Amino acid sequence: MKIAPILAAVAVMSCGCGKWLDIQPYDEIAEEDLFSTADGFKMLLNGIYIELNDDMLYGGALSVEMIEIMGGAYEMGTDDSVWGDYNDIASYEYGTEYWQTRFNETWNKAYELILDCNLLLAQIDDRKSVFSGDDYYIIKGEALALRAMLHFDMLRLFGPVYSRNPESSSIPYYTEYDGTAHEVQPASEIAALVLEDLNEARVLLSVDPVRTVGVRMDGPDDGDSDTFLYYRNLRLNYFAVSALLARVWLWVGDREQALKYAEEVISAGNGGIFPFVDKSLVTGSPDDPDRIFSSEVIFALSDNQRGTLFDDYFDPSRLPNYVFTMESGLFSDYVFGGTGTGGSRSDYRYLANWRTTGGNSYFYKYSDMENTGDIRNTMVPLIRLGEMYLIAAESCSDDISSGLPYVNTLRSNRGATQLTSLTRDMLQYEYIRELYGEGQLFFMYKRMFTRVLFSSVPGENPEPTDAIFVVPLPQTETEN
C-alpha cells in the first residue's frame, strides 16, 4: 500500500526560524518503510499539518474566506460581475452548484486528513519500539487532537444548532483506517467522541515540553538539532488541546467544564508561556509590527505563503476587483467606535490591523512583514489566548455580567478602556475585535443562536434560523 498524496509535500523540522518548513518531495513511500522509524511517523504527522493549509480548509475557506462571509465579517458589493458567487453565500443560499462543490471540497479534504490521522494511529502502538524519549506520546497525542479538531469543525459547520437540537443527526466519526463508510450520528454522540479523543490526547501530551519550557520559538541553541519538540505553538500542544476542550465544552453548553479548561490556559498565559503581546511590538512603529500578537497564539499553522491571504482577499490595490472589508457603519459605530459598544480607535487590534483609505477600512492582519523570513510571518492563528478570556467570560455564570473582569483584563492588554457593564451584544463585539479573520465568528453566532451582524442598519441582520446555521451535508456524503 502506498501513502496518500499528502506526502507530495511533506514538512520536516529544520534549523532556523525562517526554515521551519522545508518541503521535500516524496512521490510514493511504502507503508512498511514509512513506519519503520520514528522519523517516518513524524513525516506523516508533519504532512497533515501542512495539508491543513489547503485552500479548502484553513488556508482560505475555514479561516478568512467562506466561513467569515457566513459570519457577516465582510460587506458584499452589488455588482455580480465582481462579487460573483459570494453574494449567494452571504445570503445563505447553500444549494447553488458552486457552493455545493465548495462544501464538498472542504468536507472531502477534512476527511482525507482524518483518514491520514487514522493511518498513523493504526500503526503507532504496534511500532512503539521505534521511538525514543517522549516522541511516542507527543506524536500519538497530536494525531488524536488533529482528528478531534477536524471532526469538531465539520460538526460545527454541518451539524445542528447544538443548543436547540443536540440529538439531531450530524456527521460520521471515523476512528479506524478501514475504508468503509460510516453512518452519520447524532450531534451529541459526535461531541462525546471529540471529547474522548481530546481527553486522551491531553493525557498523552502531559509530557509536552511546552508545560515546562514554553513554546521555544527560537529553536535549538546549536541550530542543527532535531526541532520536533520546538515551535510548540505551531503544533497541537498540550495547552492547545486544553483550549480545544474549552471550545468544545462551551459548544455543548457545559459552562463549568468550559471555564475549567479556559482558566488552565489563562493560567499558562499568566505564567509566561503565552504572554500578552508587548505594546511596543504593535504600536511603537517597529519595522515589522506583530499584527497577529504571536506570543499569545496557542496554536497556529505555518504557511510560507501566508501573505497571499492578504494579496487575494484584502489588498486595496485589487480594486476594482473584490476586496473584503467590514461594513463601514458596523466598523465605525460598533466594533471600533460608537458609544456603549466598547469600540475604541486606541485598541491595539485597530492600530495593528486596520488602515483607512478613502472612507473604507482595510484589514492588514495577514500582510507580509518587512522581514518575510521571520517565522511570525508564516503564522495563521487557529487558537489564541484572547478567546480563552472570552470563553471564561461567557462561562463563569448564568449572569453574563459576571464575566466582566475577564473581558476587562483582555481589554487592558489591548489598550482599550475598561467596561462598566457587560451584555451579550457587547461580548459579541469583543469576539469580533479579537477573532476577526480567524474563522470563528459564524460559529459564535451559531452557538448563541443570535443574529449574524453584517450591517449597522437595524432590521438588515436576519433573524437566526436553522436555514442560516445548518449547512446541508455535502452530496459526496449523502450519496455515499
DSSP 246-307: HHHHHHHT-HHHHHHHHHHHHHHHHTTSSPPPPHHHHHS--SS--TT-GGGEEEEEE-TTTH
pLDDT in tens, the chain (480 residues): 344 445 444 433 333 333 333 434 333 466 778 899 999 999 999 999 999 999 999 999 999 999 999 999 999 999 999 999 999 999 999 999 999 999 999 999 999 999 999 999 999 999 999 999 999 999 999 999 999 999 999 999 999 999 999 999 999 999 999 878 899 999 999 999 999 999 999 999 999 999 999 999 887 876 656 788 999 999 999 999 999 999 999 999 999 999 999 999 999 999 999 999 998 888 876 677 899 999 999 999 999 999 999 999 999 999 999 999 999 999 999 999 988 899 999 999 999 999 998 888 999 999 998 888 888 899 999 999 999 999 999 999 999 999 999 999 999 999 999 999 999 999 999 999 999 999 999 999 999 999 999 999 988 999 999 999 999 999 888 876
| pLDDT score for 438 | 98
Type of residue at 288: D
Q: Which of 320, 313, 352, 315 is nearest to 336 (CA)?
A: 352
- Which residue is it, cell 449572569? 399
CB atoms within 10 A of CB 328: 14
pLDDT at site 64:
97
What pLDDT score does 223 carry?
A: 61
Helix, strand, coil % (nearest 5) of the chain? 50, 5, 45
Give me the helix-helix angle, 255-270 and 238-252, nearest 10°.
Answer: 150
Domain boundaries, the chain: 5-478
* Protein fold of 5-478: 1.25.40
Q: Can you give the pLDDT at residue 178?
A: 84
Q: Structure pTM?
A: 0.93
- Are 106 and 57 within 8 A, CB to CB? yes
Q: Three-state DSSP class for 13?
A: coil
Q: Are 369 and 288 in contact (CB under 8 A)?
A: yes
